[in-house]
Amino acid sequence: LKPAAHALFKKLKDEELELLVQAVESRGAWESSCVWAPRGDARGAKQGLSPQVLLCRLFRWPDVHQPHELKHLCYCAGRRGVCGDLAALCCNPHHFSRLAVPETPPPPYSKASCGPSWPDEPQHPSSQLLEFSYKGGDWRGRRLCSPLPDTSLSRSTIKDGCWCKLAYWEHRTRVGRLYAVHEASVNVFCELPWGSGFCLAQLPAAHRSRAVRRARGKIGRGLLLSREPGGIWAYNRSEHPIFVSSPTLSPPGARGLTVLKVLPGYSAKVFDYEQVGGKGGWRLPGEGPCDPHSIRISFAKGWGPCYSRQFITSCPCWLEVLLNQLR
């Protein structure tokens, strides 16, 4: 790739080269500007690679080969040709992510059966379910005698213009207040100075177990949540996996819970507005009903039928994304 890279660098202006150096040296810790390169492939080594694929192979993923394997991040102006010049495209390697796909087969550290082990409906009409909500920083539950309870979390109460609110949890305890998101994207990270957004280190310091402290130490740069046409995307900015579940990640007709593992540097569409449609309550076995317009994200630790942790409340550090239904 060396001759192809040299051929590309010769085409870049000095200010573009300087921006590229800053992005590579920071490893994406800061939201850098676009690096505009002329369209057309770099043929210095007869590779036939587009500029963005070439630089992503050089500085991030040696095994990437085609542009369709990459996704522009939400803050990249090149994703819609915003630069106004059709002859140029962004080739900043930290303006791209790779696309996450479900794991097949399940991870080797699975300790539980991966098959669904619960019925679709309660076995008896009088079966009691637990409805959980967060009040006073803890899980609160009340018995529900109806087999199909109303599980909405009062979306109509969100009238302040935000498209979602974030709740940070440690096991079964919510830490801090809800964080309202008004911008099109938000960073969630643990320690400054990873940028602006939802900084978990600024939340009240409660008594934390060793497991929670270890998990918090792995959050680092955290993740980027973005509201894009059709749905919500999550980009893993940390150096450890994140695990995501939402009502729209499960295939139609699936009885089990789908938990998607998103590796560092990868993105996933974690919520699809069209797919959720008019779904009612999202009932999680053993955890009670959930808001169908919500996303749950665990940092570094997985849960679900294929993991030793069956419920997200067993995860040390996790995030709940409560979406406003008004798109």
Q: pLDDT tens-digit profile of 33-88?
A: 999 988 764 444 445 788 999 999 999 999 998 989 999 999 898 876 544 456 78
Query: Domain coordinates of the chain in residue numbers?
Result: 1-98, 164-277+288-323
At residue 206, does pLDDT exceed 90?
Answer: no
Apex 302 CA angle, 215 and 180, nearest 5 = 70
pTM over 0.85: no
Q: Is the predicted pLDDT of residue 116 greater than 60, yes or no?
A: no
Both tokens of 300, joined, read 């570094």
**In Å, how far are 18, 35, 153, 218, 247 from 311, measured between CA atoms?**
47, 43, 20, 20, 15
Surface-to-core class of residue 82, CB atoms within 10 Å of its CB (0-12 exposed, 13-18 middle, 19+ buried): exposed
In angstroms, the CA 230 to CA 119 distance is 31
CA atoms within a 13 Å half-sphere pointing along the CA-CB vector of 164: 25
Q: Is the pLDDT of residue 225 over 90?
A: yes
Q: Other CB atoms closer than 10 Å to residue 117's CB: what's the count?
A: 12
What is the DSSP track for 103-152? -SS--TT--S--S--S-SS-SSTT--EEEEEEETTEEEEEEE-SSS----
Does 99 or 279 have the greater pLDDT score?
A: 99
Contact 127, 120 (CB under 8 A): no
91/75 Cα distance (integer angstroms): 13
pLDDT in tens, 2-19: 899 999 999 999 999 999
Strand partners of residue 186: 225
What is the β-pairing status of strands 96-99 and 70-72?
antiparallel
Q: What is the pLDDT of residue 282?
A: 56
- Looking at residues 257-269, what average pLDDT do you find? 92
pLDDT of residue 17: 95
pLDDT class for 29, splitting at 50, 70, 90?
confident
- Say what percent of the chain tops pLDDT 70: 69
The architecture in CATH of the region 164-277+288-323 reads: Sandwich (2.60)
The answer, yes or no, to whether residue 191 has pLDDT greater than 60, is yes
Reported as a pLDDT band with limits 50, 70 and 90, residue 113 is: very low
Q: Which residues pair with 70 in a beta bridge?
A: 98
Using one digit for the tens of pLDDT, what is the confidence trace for 303-325?
A: 988 788 989 999 999 999 999 86
pLDDT, mean over the chain:
77
pLDDT of 160 over the 70 cut: no
pLDDT at 277 over 50: yes
pLDDT at 80: 61
Q: DSSP of 168-224, one letter per residue?
A: EEETTEEEEEEEEE-SSEEEEESSTTS-SSEEGGGS------HHHHHHHTTTTT-EE
Lowest mean pLDDT among 117-126, 130-139, 156-165: 117-126
CATH code for the domain defined by 1-98: 3.90.520.10
For residue 196, give Cα distances in angstroms to 73, 186, 200.
Answer: 16, 8, 11
